[in-house]
Structure 1
């Protein structure tokens, strides 16, 4: 655990019920490049339940667990979003191109002022947010559609100019130091 993290607990993984486990595995492993680390079956209240464990981190056996048994149609999807952080704007832009090639639904690039995000639906309609943190902070919520085409340096300059016009603009390092104080970590 990082010395700048809260002691006690850290986020590790989540599981979600799915209708078509093979289709969901193909998406998370093929498109988002998770690795299947295990799979198996357990007894469930209504019969056997299939599980597929996936991770992008060799220190985490699984970061996502796909579990069979979700009804094909639900009146409401309780998952607001599943968010994955990109290591660079280049990575995010490459994934944007990949999602367009895969003909995924509802691909929406936006800026939140302090991050650039791509919202997209997985094959069962769960909303994903793939994002890259920008080096500054602005007050939230904030959301504006963006075009990710063009030169990366020009994009970053546009993102920063926009962020500077928003309430709360400051370097991310200042915001982080304030949050560390509020969390009792400073």
Structure 2
């Protein structure tokens, strides 16, 4: 995904320092309104860019048109480390939640874009669902509480069953 920013240096610093993205490229493009600075960021060596920052965001907009930027964590340990880092950064509005089928952290970036950092759980439950979760607990306690809660909800099933159902519905099975 790519989005326009006001303060390139502040946004680049946040994404590289707090969320550990790496700058893979940077440069300038000619555009109708003049030159545009662009920074490519990734956390995956197989992906040239996962996020693109480009200057040119208007100073005054009625509301932020980005609903959320969702970034998948590879493990609960990674999600918990990101939570620790965001708390240490003093980021406002950090909200760890369970969606029943994932554990997420919602937090605004420095320009108010809502980020969702999430770890997928091995089951599915009907959506939408959003309940607070304590990411300071042990991994075992978090997963046990999340599973017990999910099993009590409508639509609970193993994720592989849900994926197979979606493949059938999409004509891919």
TM class by smaller structure: over 0.9
Q: Return the alpha-carbon distance in structure 2 between the equivalents of residues 138 and 128 of structure 1.
A: 22
Pick one of 124, 134, 140 that aligns with 1:137: 124
The TM-score with structure 1 as length reference comes to 0.90
1:19 and 2:6 correspond:
yes
1:42 and 2:24 correspond:
no
Q: Return the alpha-carbon distance in structure 2 between the equivalents of residues 159 and 61 of structure 1.
A: 34
1:70 and 2:46 correspond:
no
Q: Return the alpha-carbon distance in structure 2 between the equivalents of residues 58 and 93 of structure 1.
A: 22
Q: Give 1:44 shift.
A: 2.1
How many residue pairs get aligned? The number is: 173
Q: Return the alpha-carbon distance in structure 1 between the equivalents of residues 17 and 168 of structure 2.
A: 41
Stretches of structure 1 lacking an aligned partner (at least 5 in a row): 1-13
What does residue 96 of structure 1 align with? Answer: 83
SS of 1:95's equivalent? helix
TM-align CA RMSD: 1.0
Q: Return the alpha-carbon distance in structure 1 between the equivalents of residues 42 and 138 of structure 2.
A: 32
Q: Give 1:124 shift.
A: 0.3
Pick one of 154, 160, 170 that aligns with 1:173: 160
Q: Give 1:117 shift.
A: 0.3
Per-residue CA shift, 1:6-25, capped at 9, x if unaligned?
A: xxxxxxxx210000011100
Q: Return the alpha-carbon distance in structure 2 between the equivalents of residues 150 and 65 of structure 1.
A: 34
Per-residue CA shift, 1:42-86, capped at 9, x if unaligned?
A: 122222111111112222221111100112232111100000111
Stretches of structure 2 lacking an aligned partner (at least 5 in a row): none
The TM-score with structure 2 as length reference comes to 0.96
Q: Give 1:143 shift.
A: 0.6
Q: Give 1:139 shift.
A: 0.2
Q: Give 1:147 shift.
A: 1.2
